Amino acid sequence: MDAMLLAVKPQSASALMPQLKPFVAGDPLLISVMAGVSMKTLEEGLGIRKLVRVMPNTPALVGEGMSVFYASEAVTREGRDWVVRLLSSCGLCLEVDDENAVDAATAVSGSGPAYLFYLAEQMIEAAKNLGFRADQAEVLVKQTLKGASLLLQNDESAAELRRRVTSPGGTTEAALKRFGEGKVENHLRDGLECAYQRARQLSGSI
């Protein structure tokens, strides 16, 4: 498969494409992981039709990535299958039939690891405030999130897993009630919406 991977910051796209154009004269399969850079921008800037936009994420570094991709009509079934094999080598992949879904994936899975890391940061600080040493707090939180993530791989929904841990009148319920009072769920949804809109802004500005 004659393919090329374009993996640079989206802000570099405009300056890069004129330099890259001579190297894609044979119309290879171009795979772009640039957030917010649309198929139209790539096609106009490089003059090629066989395009694949991918939104990967950093857990690919440990073979547990989540990649979402959209392929142009010019990409053959053979080409799509090759992309699936490539992306599956470092985790799971999902093909979507709407390019906008790649921007939505940027907000959910592309940026998603940072949300979990942020939660871990806050839990570690809270554990330290409760009297644990920094090293103890790290172990408590990292192992808790690891174990909970593995449970999420089962057939049960996240909501059901949460309910099973939440005893009426218990400690978990007290914490979740406080989260609800602070409208944490609304802030999470608003944050993902902001990430999505930023991806759309990048698409329109490049």
What CATH code is assigned to 112-200? 1.10.3730.10
Please tell me the predicted confidence (pLDDT) of residue 152.
95
Q: Amino acid letter at 43?
A: E
End-to-end CA distance of the chain: 29
Residue 153 identity (one-letter amino acid): Q
pLDDT for the residue 83: 96
Say if CB 68 and CB 54 are below 8 A apart. Answer: yes
Domain parsing of the chain, residue ranges = 3-99, 112-200
Please report the pLDDT score of residue 178 as a whole number. 94
The pLDDT value given to residue 1: 63
| Integer Cα distance of 174 and 60 in angstroms | 36
Given this model, what pLDDT does residue 204 score? 66
**In the chain, what are the helix, strand and coil shares in percent, each to the nearest 5?**
60, 10, 25
Encoding tokens for residue 133? 């040493």
The DSSP result for 130-195, as a single string, is TT--HHHHHHHHHHHHHHHHHHTTSSS-HHHHHHHH--TTSHHHHHHHHHHHTTHHHHHHHHHHHH
Measured from the Cβ of residue 6, the count of other Cβ atoms closer than 10 Å reads: 22
**What is the per-residue pLDDT for 205?**
57
**Nearest partner of 45 among 30, 60, 63, 65, judged by Cα:** 30
In which element (H, E) is residue 92 found?
strand 91-95
**CA–CA gap between residue 163 and residue 172 (Å, rounded):** 10
The residues pairing with 67 across neighbouring beta strands, listed in sequence order, are: 93
Fold of 3-99: Rossmann fold (3.40.50)
Q: What is the mean pLDDT of each run of 10 residues along the chain (206 residues)?
A: 85 85 84 90 90 96 97 95 96 95 94 97 98 98 97 94 95 94 94 91 68
Q: Are 35 and 106 in contact (CB under 8 A)?
A: yes
- The torsion angle over the Cα atoms of residues 89, 90, 91 and 94, rounded to 10 degrees, is -70
Alpha-carbon distance 185 to 173, whole Å? 15
